[in-house]
Amino acid sequence: MNLLPAESSATEKRHRFRSLKHLNADLDQNLGDQPFGVDFGRLDNGLSYYVRSNSKPRMRAALALAVKAGSVLEKEEERGVAHIVEHLAFSATSKYTNHDIIKFLESIGAAFGACQNAMTTADETIYELFVPVDKPELLSQAISVLAEFSTEIRVSEDDLQKERGAVMEEYRGTRNATGRMQDSHWALMMAGSKYAERLPIGTEEVIRKVSADVVKQFYSRWYHLGNMAVIAVGDFPDTQSVVELIRTHFGQKCSPSDLPIIPLCEVPSHVEPHVSCFVESEAAGSAVMVSCKMPVSELKTVKDYRDLLVESMFLQALNQRLFKISRRKDPPYFSCSAAQDTLVRSMKDYIISSSCKERGTIEALESILLELARIRLHGFSERETSTVQALLMSEIESAYLERDQIQSTSLRDEYQQHFLHDEPVVGIEFEAQLQKTLLPSILASEISKYAEKLRTTCNCVIKTIEPHASVTVDDLKRVVSKVASLEEAASISAWDEEHIPEEIISVHPDHGSIVHQSEYLNIGVSELILSNGMRVCYKQTDFLDDQVTFSGFAYGGLSELPEVDYFSCSMGSTIAGEIGVFGYKPSVLMDMLAGKRAEVGTKLGAYMRTFSGDCSPTDLEIALQLVYQLFTTTVEPGDEVRVVMEMAKEAVRAQERDPYTAFANRVREVNYGSSYFFRPIRINDLEKVDPDVACRYFNNCFKDPSTFTIAIVGKIDPEIARPLIQQYLGGIPRPPTAVMKFSRDELNGLPFKFPEKIVREVVRSSMVEEQCSVQLSFPVELKNGTMNEEIHFVGFLSKLLEMKMMQVLRFKHGQIYSAGVSVFLGGNKPSRTGDVRGDISINFSCDPYISKKLVDFALEELLRLQEEGPSDQDISSILEIEQRAHENGLQENYYWLERILRSYQSRNYSGDLGSSFEIQDEARLNVRKSLSPTTVREALQRIIPYPCKKKYTVVILMPRRSTYQLVKSFFQSTSKDYTKRAMITIASLTILAISLWRINRSAIKSVDR
């Protein structure tokens, strides 16, 4: 079966992938040390630099300072210091103080987090900036910031003290269930090496107590220009002027001649597998991980590159099998996948991870090990090999077609890897030729041999994770021994392949006709009304040569359902997806689409049902065939339903163990009421789900094409696309009577009701380690007459609040790591005339014992903004951030797709898409022009209750205090004042004893979340 797409007129363009000639590749040929396409060099002081001109996106530059210094270099008393240095860089340098670097970058439109960030790993620290370069001075200023990071970070006791709280909060964020599981796995993998005890986040003791001198010594010892590289990729007129800027800002810096050698820390090998049973009471479910460690392979020659392709094909083929096993009638696990990851500088691993039912880890482990043994005994089939070959060929073809449209951030990351890990950068043209030459020569037997690297005797680590202990290490070792015996006896049967149909559609539909066509020249959109009533619009772009993205929507969703049907129908998309919504089981469809780039997904929302997807231009026909199948397939419940419901129940049980889920559930209940639509799904709700009702509802959701509007954006040729649209979208049969046809003005609104009074509530939850999360919410109601502008005001206000909360709670008080602001405007139905209701919420995590104080700080800052307004600098920063995001978006297909859909769904839409689009654009520009401290102050008073302290809700997640903690707290508080009367003390103790008795009784009955 030929899995490669056939040639079409869409493929006949200059520099087409298939016209590339094969290389006469000598396997011993060196790939070269010089990175491709970049001005690469080294200053006299040892600093490396990489500079490349790239216009995607326009007028932007992706910058980085890469440092070969990470947590593995720390001494015992320095554990966590590498990460602390990274924090201090944004806090204060010789030139900038009090987080002025962050304020400066925000002032030019580089938002904190998204466009200015850093990361510390065991082996390196990387500082990254993404900045505009449409003004001559901006690039120089940004490079000067990196120069400050390199040698000028200020480390004083005052600076350190201000940043401890933020670092401590980041540390606290790693002490949840996910963090504990990751830490334990890291220790198991790195056992016997220094890496095992050098997690980048460090230890609580060091974070709280380390001195400025110790931090300064680490910084001075390892931050040398010889250990660093500056990478600059962006829309530069030339590279030499950028090199000169680097020379200007870095050239006068010096490094000592006696630089310390960065040690290579080895990880010991082992023959016997390291086995662990990890019990995590807050785990999201049961899981099994099988890892095999090995030294990082050299990538120097064509042979090395070929070996990399073989490895990639092995992982792809293995993942195909693991997915198919998970879709069996009685699967041993819910999901399972394999990947390769570089753990540290000297070591990589293959890791197979699976999630399974509770008490199902033994079965999951046995299945994983059996499959690896099956591959070693019988190998992969020729069809499996052809499938993964086609997948890789499709991926490299896509990369080749978009070789001139690569994002600057992606190129920056490539050059970082070249500096940090000596990974060659050969250029996409040469890499495409290499793959096209090498892939056809790789045999199934070569791919299968890679299973030898995943033997349990090859540095293997096996780990199970369970919320409640059900297996032991000996149980796991017995499974290993059992599979080894079966393999030795060759008692494992070969893989049984499924029949794979050749075509997605067996009988192609007749073409529909175009009954009306409109051209909206102001936005470059063509709109078609098809004979079956479906509205389709398309916009041709040249942002990416191998991308077409699309989405369709129809009004009428879950808000129309009575409570008796709600839970069944809300499961419709999940159940139908596992059965197969395109006429085939997911495992079969996966093989049918091998070598094609086309995917479609569905969503059932409150007010709309939608489908969306993307594809390569050459696979547009395949994507539209999937949409046709979606509308013409009748999904019927089968054996898959039992597995789906079992997975759903496991997910609900996991949520019940998770403190954050209890918190989120209570937030919804406080803010939106206890309606069935907002309350969390429970096990007894799942037991009432009727699969027939779920499938019937799903079928009806995607039945009537006349109710749907579809937008298509990307590299499409209208001469090719229009006939396909007419055949596969216009050919969808329209039912004789309308199905789920709703007017947007007649939809049922959600049962949303924000409290009329102040609510301050603490949710106490049992936790392994103390966590705290805060959500502070305010009701929002936007009036119909000024809706267009008000929605844009909400967007600007949310960005302002996020920026100010960070300035106050992190930079001023130093007590949080990050703050977020979220907006919900779905409290009313999307009618053309009604008001819009919802809420705006401030979210952050912090030390549990200061959470209420931080809430008060947040309220005080919001009240100050309502009464005084923001500063001119604040206004300038949020305008810049919004404008830069808008400019970036204008170069993205997804951004245009969203704007077109918003224009159709706007209350201003009355049949003219172009006018609706212009009204929204005009509203945005009007708000931008009007923004000032005064207008923002007025908007804060108008949109959020004024004063803000009169109407809000705050819900705080806090750890449940144990009986011991309560007693200890009592005696600590009473011991401070012995002058109180003895009778008061006795009475207090009596009340405390009664309280403790009640708490214990409650604990016996149930675990209170």
494, 374 in Cβ contact below 8 A? yes
149, 225 in Cβ contact below 8 A? no
For residue 574, give the H/E element and its range. helix 572-579
Catalytic residue flag (residue 311): no
CA dihedral 88, 91, 92, 97 (to 10 degrees): -170
Name residue, tokens 């006709």: 513
Number of Cβ atoms within 10 Å of the Cβ of 111? 22
Which residues are within 8 A (CB) of 274 and not within 5 positions of it... i.e. 6 or more apart? 188, 191, 460, 461, 462
Catalytic residue flag (residue 163): yes
Choose the catalytic residue: 74, 106, 163, 366.
163
Quote the CA–CA distance of 121 and 83 in Å, as a whole number: 8
3-state class percentages of the chain: helix first, strand second, coil last, to nearest 5: 50, 15, 35
Which whole-number Å values give the CA distances from 410 to 115, 130, 446, 492, 616, in the listed order? Answer: 14, 12, 31, 44, 20
Name residue, tokens 């449409």: 134
Structure tokens at 421: 């890990």
Choose the catalytic residue: 86, 106, 578, 880.
86
For residue 963, give the H/E element and its range. helix 963-974
For residue 138, give the H/E element and its range. helix 136-151
Helices (H), 223-360: 240-250, 302-326
Phi, psi of 327 (to 5 degrees): -105, 15
The beta strands (E) that lie in 754-880 are given as 759-765, 773-782, 819-824, 836-845
Question: Which of 56, 821, 895, 885 lies closest to 406 in space, CA to CA?
Answer: 56
Q: What is the DSSP string of 633-644?
A: ------THHHHH
Maximum alpha-carbon separation in the chain: 97
Residue 820 β-bridge partners: 843
Count CA within 13 A, CB hemisphere, residue 955. Answer: 20
Structure tokens at 649: 């129940």
Which whole-number Å values give the CA distances from 633 to 507, 641, 697, 824, 855, in the listed order? Answer: 13, 17, 13, 34, 52
Which residues are within 8 A (CB) of 324 and not within 5 positions of it... i.e. 6 or more apart? 498, 587, 590
Quote the CA–CA distance of 636 and 627 in Å, as a whole number: 18
Please report, as a single letter, which amino acid is at residue 480: V
Number of Cβ atoms within 10 Å of the Cβ of 691? 22
Question: Which of 53, 57, 408, 406 lies closest to 236 in space, CA to CA?
Answer: 53
CA dihedral 406, 409, 415, 421 (to 10 degrees): -120
Q: Give me the active site residues, please.
A: 86, 163
